[in-house]
Structure 1
Amino acid sequence: MGLRRPGAARRPQLPGTDPGGTAEGTSRIGSRALTLWLLLLTVAVVLLDALTGNDLPLIPLLVVLPALASVFCTVRQTTAVALWVMLVVVGSRIASTGAFWDVVFLLGFTGVASALGVVACAARIRHATEVARLRSAAVALQRQILRPLPIVTRQVCAHGLYEPIEEDRFVGGDIYEVVQSSHGTRVIIGDVQGKGLPAIGVGFAALGAFREAAVREPELTAVADAVEDAVVRHNAFSAETGEEERFVTALLLCFDGDDRAQAVNCGHLPPRLLHDGVASAVTLHRTSVPLGMADLGGEARVAERVGFPRGAALLVCTDGVTEARDAAGGFYPLDERLGRWAGREPEQVLAALQTDLQSFSGGVRRDDVAVLVLSRPQEGESVPAALPGPDERSGPG
């Protein structure tokens, strides 16, 4: 299934530019269709104008055509429409018996209105291009923060679903990452307190620390401590700039090819095990405080072992799933619904969950949604090599 994210799989095309890169923009209506509609409307207006006579002149109504064309067409097409309208108006008034200044006023008004239509079209395309460039930059930034899914390593294949609460953004306050290392595959899924750009900044700091520590540290608890330090440092910087300090609830997992995985829970939701057609919540007995709040906990974080038998999958998610509400205010029954799909493939589970969650909440989301389904890679799937740790990079002394 992979990550549900517009523009993640291909380079986004900028509105206002055609595939060949021309500067005049793309049209929502083809040239042939535009010509046909232009002729039909012109004939209709001219005939009605002839029928009504001088008592009710309708030719001036043609000035709306350049304005309409500026919304849907390119600058070249809009200019052609404007010139056509001027030609029709001038041609219809050459033999006019009306007052001289009435004809001059009509021609002047038509010229000004047509010119404004062309200017409006150029401004629309320029604005759309600027917005598209900003969205393209957001896509590039998003690809640095959250990698597209699925991600395949030696030990696991991670399929996922990611839906920020703000649809015009590609990244929200939820984070995830999957790193292949010489110590196994390390996975993190987390939820940053709050929303908006400050939350994204904290999430980026946590992800950067996790990517380095996942390769460097042999113990999963040490990876969690490294991410903790990064969040604390980011909070210290935020305090200096007047921003609110934030914490991150997170679940860290490590897969080394065994039938059990390691887990360090930092105030996050426990995983769900999908095995033999049954879905069950995994009980974690040692849940520590969220990342960024270790000074309040007083206890060192502890790694626990969780079952990961052959043919099983672990589903991890953020509270955007479990805290979704229906029209009556009831919470989403995740465990009950997962029981219906436990025997399906990871992509099918995610598709069913996405559809059901949308239907349950009536399309109203109150929080970001992030879900990972972690299973063993299938035969034939390409597996990247492990990133070198500090010892491998340093070489012989």
Structure 2
Amino acid sequence: MVMGLRRPWAARREPLPGADPAETAAGDARIGSWALALWLLLLTVVVVLLDTFTGNDLPVIPLLVVLPALASVFCTVRQTTGVAVWVTLVVVGSRIASTGAFWDVVFLIGFTALASALGVVACAARIRHATEVARLRSAAVALQRQILRPLPIVTRQICAHGFYEPIEEDRFVGGDIYEVVQSPHGTRVIIGDVQGKGLPAIGVGFAALGAFREAAVREPELTAVADAVEDAVVRHNAFSAGTGEAERFVTALLLGFDGGDRVRAVNCGHLLPRLLHDGSASPVALHRTSVPLGLAALGGEARAAEWIGFPPGAALMVFTDGVTEARDAAGVFYPLDERLGRWVGQGPDEVLEALQADLQAFSGGVRRDDVAVLVLNRPQAAESEAGSRGDPATSAPTT
């Protein structure tokens, strides 16, 4: 998730450089060795005392075989092996000292040894799986860094703060896209929502982002940028059709900032932005909305751009429908405009933090779609200077 200077993946733990992948993968479940030894000793004493009191009529010592199984869930392989050896020794020692039948003793010792060995094997398999998941997660982090840039992004004209939450916790990238590019023609911004979810939607989003990054620098007109992204989505759909996948479209809003009091906008079937200014939040009317990207052949009309006001001190909020279509337990949609009015006097980071927390509380933590939100405002002096230098830590590249 992105919040202010936080990165989209900052909410998730990443392995430290040089860390053992197996130990890192098991780190969340691992318990301290001293604590483990203390609990093991206490449980052993309790079971042995109960076994002494009950005698041969109701032997309790076999219950110790569950300890390696429990350790395999929470401990490392080394700790689980230690528990298994300890349990085996305790059972062997107690049964040798007992007066039970020979084959009963042999059977119990053999069963304990087998259960302990299975616990160690299960622990090793769990850590191996966790290590593979950790490696895949690292690959997903690298993929996201190539697809969606960390926020905030500062250019000469704007500073873009925001957050992004994919619907699936196991995935770092979903069907929502955003990008901010500094170009010779000003700053170009896109936010969009790909139809559908999963890897096919990610593929369409990547194609759209790649085309936008190139066209935003090359094309002087914002409508030409939209047409270039349209062509990329159409080409990707043609390729997908050849592999048996369904065609998809992208609702998107493209904005062009030149440093003035107006912003150029091309709306391709996307939600209206909100203008945060003078203590109020209001939808920005766009009268030339066209069809989503990938469906231009069905529209019959060329895409058109229009100007919207962007007075000094104002901020534009753009978002995907994961915000407006969030619902509570009763099925009521999230009242975005009503809630924004409460926070409009605060800074971008505070507004985003309040919105993110309120969405979580309103929906009870149940998300039905990806959520992407950007707040675009004029940068402060220090941020503007960093953006004009093309500082890689804050500014999107121009190519």
Q: Which TM-score band (shorter chain)?
A: over 0.9
**Against the structure 1 CA distance between its residues 387 and 311, is the aligned structure 2 distance closer, same or farther, given a 3 Å change threshold?**
same
CA distance in 2, matches of 1:22, 1:128: 9
User: Which runs of 4 or more aligned residues in structure 1 lie more than 6 Å from their structure 2 counterparts after TM superposition?
Assistant: 3-6
- Any residues of structure 2 matched to 1:295-306 within 5 Å, and which? 295-306=297-308
- The answer to whether the 8 Å contact 2:4/2:162 transfers is yes
Q: Deviations over 1:205-254 (max 9, x none)?
A: 00010011111111111111100100010111111112111111100001
- What is the total number of aligned residue pairs between the two structures? 386
Unaligned runs of 5+ in 2: 391-395
Q: 1:161-310 alignment to 2 at 5 Å?
A: 161-310=163-312
Match of 2:20 in 1: 21
Q: What percentage of residue pairs aligned between the two structures are identical? A: 84
SS of 1:287's equivalent in the other structure is coil
1:73 aligns with 2:75: yes
Q: Where does the alignment leave 5 or more consecutive residues of structure 1 unmatched? A: 390-397
Structure-2 residue corresponding to 1:107:
109
CA contact (8 A) 1:215 1:387 kept: no
Mark the CA change 1:6 to 1:297 in structure 2 (over 3 Å): closer, same or farther. closer
Distance 1:207 1:23 in 2: 36
The answer to whether structure 1 residue 355 and structure 2 residue 354 are counterparts is no
| 1:322 equivalent in structure 2 | 324
- Residue 11 of structure 1 deviates from its aligned partner by 7.4
The match for 1:394 is none
Distance in 2 (CA, whole Å) between partners of 1:172 and 1:337 is: 26
Counterparts of 1:226 and 1:177, CA distance in 2: 15
CA distance in 1, matches of 2:398, 2:367: 41
CA contact (8 A) 1:215 1:388 kept: yes
Equivalent residues of 1:5, 1:162 under 8 A apart:
no
Partner residue, 2:343: 341
CA separation of 1:387/1:115 partners in 2, compared to 1, >3 Å: closer, same or farther? Answer: closer
Q: CA–CA distance in 2 between the matches of 1:3 and 1:248?
A: 28
Do the aligned partners of 2:47 and 2:61 also contact (CA within 8 Å) in 1? yes
Shift of 1:154: 1.2
Q: 1:119 aligns with which of 85, 96, 121?
A: 121
Letter of the 1:329 partner, please give it: G
In structure 1, distance between residues paired with 2:21 and 2:244: 45
- Please list the CA deviations of residues 120-142 of structure 1 after superposition, one character each: whole Å capped at 9, or x if unmatched: 11011001111111122112112
Q: CA deviation at 1:366?
A: 2.0
Closer, same or farther in 2 for the Cα pair 1:6/1:132, shift >3 Å?
farther
The TM-score, its normalising length taken from structure 2, stands at 0.92
How far residue 88 of structure 1 moved from its aligned partner, in angstroms, is: 1.1
Contact in 2 for aligned 1:8/1:148 (Cα 8 Å): no
| 1:114-166 Cα distance to aligned partner (Å, 9 max, x none) | 11111111011001111111122112112211111111111111111212222
How far apart are 1:23 and its partner, in Å?
4.6
TM-score (norm 1): 0.92
SS in 1 for 2:281: strand
Residue 86 of structure 1 corresponds to 88
Q: Is the 8 A contact 2:194 2:250 kept in 1?
A: yes
Aligned residue number for residue 55 of structure 1: 57
What is the deviation of 1:95?
2.3
| Distance apart, 1:107 and its partner CA | 1.1
Amino acid at match of 1:223: V
CA contact (8 A) 1:190 1:248 kept: yes
Q: In the alignment, is the contact (CA less than 8 A) between 2:22 and 2:128 conserved in 1? A: no
Instruction: Give the AA of the match of 1:65.
Output: L
CA separation in 1, counterparts of 2:11 and 2:94? Answer: 54
Does the CA contact (< 8 Å) of 1:3 and 1:161 recur in 2? no
| 1:20 positional shift | 3.5
Q: Deviations over 1:23-81 (max 9, x none)?
A: 56546210000010011011111111111112111111111111111111111111111
**Aligned partners of 1:251 and 1:164: how far apart in 2?**
19
Alignment check: 8 A CA contact 1:3 1:162 kept: no
Structure 1 residues 48 and 272, CA, compared in 2 at 3 Å: closer, same or farther? same
Q: In angstroms, what is the RMSD of aligned CA positions?
A: 2.0
Deviations 1:169-190 (A, max 9, x none): 1111111001111211110001
Q: Determine the structure 2 residue equivalent to 1:152.
A: 154
Indicate the residue corresponding to 2:393 in structure 1. none
How far is the alpha carbon of 1:13 from its aligned partner?
2.0
Mapped to 2, the partners of 1:311 and 1:109 lie a distance apart of 75
- Secondary structure, counterpart of 1:187 in structure 2: strand
Query: Are the equivalent residues in 1 in contact too, given 2:288–2:304 (CA < 8 A)?
Result: yes
Secondary structure at the counterpart of residue 244 of structure 1: coil
What does 1:3-14 align with in structure 2 at a 5 Å threshold? 7-8=9-10, 12-13=14-15
CA distances 1:82-103 after superposition (whole Å, capped 9, x unpaired) = 1111111122122222211111
3-state secondary structure, aligned to 1:190: strand
- Give the alignment of 1:382-397 within 5 angstroms: 382-383=386-387, 384-385=389-390, 387=397
